[in-house]
Amino acid sequence: QVQLQESGPGLVKPSGTLSLTCVVSGGSISNSNWWSWVRQPPGKGLEWIGGIYHSGSTNYNPSLDSRVTISLDKSKNQFSLKLTSVTAADTAIYYCARGSERAFDFWGQGTLVTVSS
Amino acid sequence: EIVLTQSPGTLSLSPGERATLSCRASQTVSGSFLAWYQQKPGQAPRLLIYGASTRATTGIPDRFSASGSGTDFTLTISRLEPEDFAVYYCQQHSTSPVTFGQGTRLDIK
């Protein structure tokens, strides 16, 4: 059973950089899947941030494209998210998820990131 | 981008009743790359349906069914159980960016 676990700071200052890591267990990140980040502001809906394929190629939501970087570390079986120039609007629960032809079939439990001084 | 509009926004029903949730896309969702998720408070979304109509795992009860193609999709819960009251999201992953509907909240009446 594939499991994903997010980690990173729960508090980021405005204009700073949000950095999160998702460790994958129970399966190799090098398999033919893609790995995504999805966020959910408190009490609101889901927004796809972007994803990275096992090959390393990336695909970002145009609404965040200029601020997002997703990277893969195959040696640690993990992938990461960096979001720059954050504001209060970036406060959300951040989920990592595995993508396939079956959509997002495995999700992490989510981690709340608050942007505040 | 493909905009997904879910209706109704909130559905209030009683256990044992039938629930019908709609998801309409602003453009054709090719390859039936349409999925449905269930989300309960404090939990991550759970994949229920992929490919517009295929239940995700053997753990998804057969009271959950889905259909549709093109721009119109439906999730049906045939007989509501207490654990089914949650928020449901549709999602398309045929065209980048991946997009989600705004959700339908299924409340106990």
| Rounded mean pLDDT, A99-105 | 91
Q: Do A46 and B89 touch (CB under 8 A)?
A: yes
| Rounded mean pLDDT, A89-100 | 96
Q: Which residues pair with B100 in a beta bridge?
A: B91
**Nearest Cβ partner for A103 among B91, B96, B99:** B91
**What are the residues whose beta carbons fall under 8 Å from the beta carbon of A74, sequence distance 6 or more?**
A29, A30
Q: Please count the residue pairs, one from chain A and one from chain B, whose beta carbons lie less than 8 angstroms apart.
A: 60
C-alpha span between A80 and A82 (Å, rounded): 7
Which tens digit of pLDDT belongs to each residue from A25-52?
A: 999 999 878 999 999 999 999 999 999 9
Q: For residue A65, is pLDDT > 90?
A: no
CA-nearest residue of chain A to B98? A48
Q: Which residues pair with B88 in a beta bridge?
A: B38, B104
Which tens digit of pLDDT belongs to each residue from B21-33?
A: 999 999 999 878 9
Q: Which residues pair with A79 in a beta bridge?
A: A22, A72
Residue type, A24: V
C-alpha span between B66 and A89 (Å, rounded): 34
Look at residue B70 and give its three-state secondary structure.
Answer: strand
Structure tokens at B71: 């721009």
Interface of A with B in 57-96 (CB under 8 A): 59-63, 95
**Residue B76: other Cβ atoms inside 10 A:** 13
Look at residue B100 and give its three-state secondary structure.
Answer: strand
Which tens digit of pLDDT belongs to each residue from B48-89?
A: 999 999 999 878 999 999 999 999 999 999 999 999 999 999
**pLDDT in the model for residue A33:** 87
C-alpha span between A24 and A3 (Å, rounded): 6
**What are the residues whose beta carbons fall under 8 Å from the beta carbon of A66, sequence distance 6 or more?**
none
Q: How many CA atoms lie within 13 A of B16 on its CB side?
A: 0
Q: Does A17 touch chain B (CB under 8 A)?
A: no
**pLDDT in the model for residue B31:** 77
Q: Do A101 and B91 touch (CB under 8 A)?
A: no
